[in-house]
Each structure stands twice: as C-alpha cells, then as structure tokens.
Amino acid sequence: MSATAAEHADTRAHAEDAALATILEVLRERTGTDFSRYRRATVRRRVLNRMICLGANTFEHYLDMLLAEEGEALSLLQRITIKVSRFYRNSATFDLLRRDILPELARTNGRRPLRIWCAGCGYGEEAYTLAMLLEEAGIPGTVDASDIDPGALSAGRRGWYPPSAFDELPAALHTTFCEPSERGYRVCERVRARVSFWRHDVISDAPPPGEERFDLVSCRNVLIYLDAEVQHQVLRSIDAALAAGGVLCLGEAEWPSAALGQTLRTMNHKARLFRALPMHSRAAAPPPFAGSA
C-alpha cells in the first residue's frame, strides 16, 4: 500500500470509529443502555448488519438515519442483543438443577420461598423453565426475569412461543405446563404467575430489590457480550446479590474471573455452577435494596 493509500485508510478508520462512538452515544441517550463497554468487534459487526438491512453505505450515513428516525434506536438495540434461546437450553444444566440443586436449596431454605434471578432473560424461555421446575417439584418460589430490551420483556410477559422453542424441553414438562395456542404454545398461568419481568441493566443497575438475597442466579450467555473488565464488575454485583450457600449458574461459554474464587466455589465445571461461600461480608452486609429495576 502506498503512503497516501495507507493515510487514506487510516483517516477512514478514524472517521468510522468516531461515527460508531456517536451511534453508541445516541443509543445510550435514547434507550438508556451504554454499549460502549461491550466488545467493540461484536457491536461493530451488529451495527454493520443493521446498516446492510437499511442500505446505509457508511457509519456516517447510518448515524444520519438513526438521528432522523426515533424508533431506530430500539431496532438497533434489538439487533445488537440477539436473543437466541430455548426452553431447557443446554439440558444437562437443567437436569442438574431439576434433580439436585433446586430440591437441595428448598430443603436448606426451610419454608421460605426460593428467590431466583434470571439476568439477561431474553424472551423468557430460561426464566419460565426455572419456574416450571419449581412448579413441578412443588417448591414455593419466584423468578425475577430481567433484560435491557423492553420488547423482549413484553414478549416474555405474554408467554407465547413457537413450537421450536420447546425442542429441548422434556415432554412431561411440555405437556404439563404448555397450552396449545394459535401461535404455537403458551406457558400456563400458574407458571407465568411465578415470573416477574423487569427492565434491568446488569452493568449499571443494582440487583432487583427484595428483602432476601437470591438463592439462585442464572446469567447465561450475557457476559460474552462484555469486555473483560465489565464482566468482572457484573459478576461482583451478582455475587453480592447471592445468599450464602446460594448458587450461580453461568452459560457454558463463560467463566468467572479468578478474583471471585474467594467468594464462589465451583460445584460443576461443565455446567458452570458455583456455590456462594458464607463470606463474612456477605453475611454482614444488608441485602441489595436498590429500586432501580
């Protein structure tokens, strides 16, 4: 490449970076979510993907479109946060929760209802799976399901899913807890009643409020979006929201940073299940009231 061509490419890359930074700033102002701390390559790829759909040739061109169309910010947020999920996704993990972990948490909890938090719940498949397991075992408890995408939360509250969403769900759970509807299936009322959907950003909001800490937090396939430093920050906040003896469930693609080894013990490496140790600070600190969810 000649010196002039290299300079030109450099200038172009700078202009792209600046436009992308402004796009993320507009997104933050309009949706409340700050994507500047997400993995840059992932965000860039997904913005490009949205640009292709709209026929925008450059980041600057797309920025003009974003500024001109109020609803575009939400469409971009939805494009960046792809919500691939299924009921009982990665079945081995749910088998463990169903057979061992939820019954054990219920036993040690006595009569207190279990508190479960499903962070980054997408359309709600994972949260409803957890609620089905509680319902099946007759365990009292509720699930706080949270996500940054308001459209996903509304879909979750409705509880309708296409048949393919249930491919991994054991037949007994499907038959008992899903009702056929013209759009596929709907999760039955008693399972839906256990789940509350919240708009919540794991990076900037404190955990959902409540008088007790969480017995189980599931945060699967969310941290992969974030850069390493933010992953660590999010894990610290989730860890602080866990009751002593509570369980953290991460997706198979994720692993907590070494610093959390002092407060979490690995229960199952493959399923990424961790037990919250009864740390002095955890026992002494007040539960995470916040009011931001």
The residues binding ligand SAM (CB under 6 A) are: 81, 83-85, 89, 120-122, 126, 147-149, 152, 201-203, 220-222, 225, 251
Cβ proximity to ligand SAM, 26 vs 203, nearer residue: 203
Q: How many CB atoms lie within 10 A of CB 74?
A: 15
Report the alpha-carbon distance of residue 286 to residue 13 in Å, rounded. Answer: 48
Instruction: Name the minimum Å distance from CB 13 to ligand SAM.
Output: 26
Instruction: State CA 19 to chain mean position distance.
Output: 28
Both tokens of 60, joined, read: 């600057």
Cβ proximity to ligand SAM, 109 vs 134, nearer residue: 134
Cβ proximity to ligand SAM, 81 vs 142, nearer residue: 81
Report the alpha-carbon distance of residue 40 to residue 196 in Å, rounded. Answer: 32
Which phi and psi angles does 168 have, rounded to 5°? -95, -5
Sheet holding 273-276, edge to edge: 195-199, 141-147, 114-119, 214-219, 242-250, 273-276, 264-268
Cβ proximity to ligand SAM, 109 vs 214, nearer residue: 214
Instruction: Name the minimum Å distance from CB 161 to ligand SAM.
Output: 13
If we measure between CA atoms, which residue out of 287, 282, 283 comes closest to residue 206? 287
Instruction: Name the minimum Å distance from CB 209 to ligand SAM.
Output: 16
Cβ proximity to ligand SAM, 72 vs 147, nearer residue: 147
36 conformational bin, left if phi > 0, alpha if psi -120 to 50, beta if neither? alpha
Instruction: Name the minimum Å distance from CB 78 to ligand SAM.
Output: 8
Instruction: Name the minimum Å distance from CB 84 to ligand SAM.
Output: 5
Cβ proximity to ligand SAM, 109 vs 241, nearer residue: 241
Instruction: Name the minimum Å distance from CB 93 to ligand SAM.
Output: 10
Q: Are 173 and 88 in contact (CB under 8 A)?
A: yes
Q: How many CB atoms lie within 10 A of CB 136?
A: 16
Residue 219 CA: distances (Å) to CA of 34, 270, 273 = 19, 15, 11
Instruction: Name the minimum Å distance from CB 238 to ligand SAM.
Output: 11
Beta-carbon contacts of residue 177 (< 8 Å; ≥ 6 apart): 132, 135, 136, 187, 188, 191
Cβ proximity to ligand SAM, 109 vs 123, nearer residue: 123
Q: Are 133 and 177 in contact (CB under 8 A)?
A: no
Instruction: Name the minimum Å distance from CB 12 to ligand SAM.
Output: 29
Cβ proximity to ligand SAM, 81 vs 109, nearer residue: 81
